[in-house]
């Protein structure tokens, strides 16, 4: 057998002349006088089905299930795969899995019957109703428990806030001294009293439930920012009690602000419309 003849047979039988190219292979001539195997013009071209491949979207598992008529749409097939009703080679995979040659997928018969539109039996309808009823009862109990837990948490939080507020607003007990104090002890006592008063003022200003008005806030801030004044104490030898005078005006302002904030009086320091109207009237009178 000649060399040319041998290569021609090899080229014909290995399928390379059909697989090389797109689709059905290379574009072929109907008659080639140089080809010893082509004695007459071809009437039909061979299709290289062993070399053809599917498009990537057709290799997807959900699309393959839909093409096999196991689902009414690709979306429904994707739902079947997501819920684990489809297996490939006995294993659950994702819906975007690309099938390879030799892969075998199977779908649960109940899902296929549901997709094809088979009506449910009376027993199945009854089971479904019972299942939905039980689920509704369970959801109702969970909702009630959630509401009770939330109410208890709110109650505990309110009690905690009230206790903190009461503790902050409670005046610090002043110790009763049987013996007269010295100057150093008197200064320490005055400093602790002032610190307790400032703490109460800050607690009132930070109260978000019933905040004081703007005017009261200004007075409280002014009291906390006032510079310390000189204090006078009686000599320990002359009196058994210590007399402390700390800025009488600041004390009166603080006591007034505390009393008004505790009473929770409506803020009357912002009559905006009245002020604007009064300014306009004054302007007209001028």
Q: What's the topology of domain 56-116?
A: 3.10.290
Instruction: Round to whole Å and give the CA distance between 98 and 58.
Output: 8
pLDDT value at residue 88: 96
Mean pLDDT estimate for the chain? 74
Per-residue tokens: 67 = 């093409």
The phi-psi region of residue 5 (left if phi > 0; otherwise alpha if psi is between -120 and 50; otherwise beta) is: alpha
Q: How far apart are CA 15 and CA 25, in angstroms?
A: 10
Summarize the confidence of residues 272-276 as an average pLDDT: 44
Closest CA to 253 of 199, 201, 191: 201
pLDDT on residue 212: 78
**pLDDT value at 179 more than 50:** yes
- 3-state DSSP helix/strand/coil percent for the chain, to nearest 5? 55, 5, 40
pLDDT (tens digit per residue) in 66-118: 999 999 999 999 999 999 999 999 999 999 999 998 899 999 999 999 898 88
List the single range of 69-78, 207-216, 235-244 with lowest mean pLDDT: 235-244
Query: Residue 88 belongs to what H/E stretch?
Result: strand 86-88
Asked whether residue 232 carries a pLDDT value surpassing 80, the answer given is no
106: phi then psi, degrees, rounded to nearest 5: -135, 145
Provide the whole-model pTM: 0.33
Domain boundary assignment for the chain: 56-116, 169-285
Q: How far is CA 232 from CA 182, 235, 244, in A?
A: 12, 10, 6
């Amino acid at each position: 057998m000649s060399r040319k003849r041998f290569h021609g047979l090899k080229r014909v039988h290995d399928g390379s002349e059909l697989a090389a190219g797109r689709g059905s292979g290379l574009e072929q001539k109907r008659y080639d006088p140089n080809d010893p195997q082509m004695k007459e013009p071809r009437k039909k071209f061979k299709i290289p089905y062993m070399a053809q491949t599917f498009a990537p979207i057709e290799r997807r598992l959900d699309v393959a299930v839909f093409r096999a008529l196991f689902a009414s749409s690709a979306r429904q097939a994707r739902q079947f795969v997501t819920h684990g009703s489809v297996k490939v080679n006995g294993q659950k995979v994702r819906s975007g899995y690309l099938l390879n040659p030799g892969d075998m997928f199977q779908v649960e018969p109940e899902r296929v019957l549901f997709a094809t539109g088979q009506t449910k039996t009376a027993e199945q309808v009854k089971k479904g109703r019972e299942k939905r009823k039980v689920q509704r009862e369970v959801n109702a109990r969970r909702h009630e428990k959630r509401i009770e837990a939330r109410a208890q948490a709110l109650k505990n939080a309110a009690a905690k806030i009230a206790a903190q507020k009461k503790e902050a607003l409670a005046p610090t007990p002043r110790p009763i001294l049987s013996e007269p104090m010295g100057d150093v002890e008197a200064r320490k006592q005055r400093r602790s009293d002032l610190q307790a008063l400032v703490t109460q003022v800050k607690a009132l200003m930070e109260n978000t439930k019933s905040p004081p008005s703007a005017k009261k806030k200004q007075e409280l801030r002014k009291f906390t920012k006032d510079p310390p004044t000189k204090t006078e104490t009686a000599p320990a030898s002359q009196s058994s009690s210590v007399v402390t005078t700390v800025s009488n005006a600041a004390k009166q302002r603080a006591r007034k602000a505390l009393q008004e904030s505790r009473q929770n009086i409506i803020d009357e320091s912002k009559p905006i419309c009245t002020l604007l109207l009064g300014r306009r009237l004054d302007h007209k009178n001028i």
